[in-house]
Structure 1
Amino acid sequence: MDNPRVIKLQHKEHSDHARWALSQYRKQKKKKEKNAEVRSIAELSRAIDTNTKAISKKLSLLRRNACKRKAQAIETNAKKRRRVTLGKYRVKKVKCTEKASFLKCYNRRGGPSGLIQTHDWFSMI
Structure 2
Amino acid sequence: MTQFVLAVVLGLLFAFGTFLVLRRDILRVVWGVVIYSQAANVYLITMGGLSGVAPIISGHAVENPDTVTDPLVQALVLTAIVISFGTTAFALVLTYRIYEEHGTIDLQKLGETGGEV
Bigger strand share: 1
Bigger helix share: 2
TM over 0.5: no
Question: Rg: which structure is higher?
Answer: 1
Please give the TM-score of this superposition, normalised by the length of structure 1: 0.30
**Greater RCO (CA < 8 Å, at least 6 residues apart):** 2
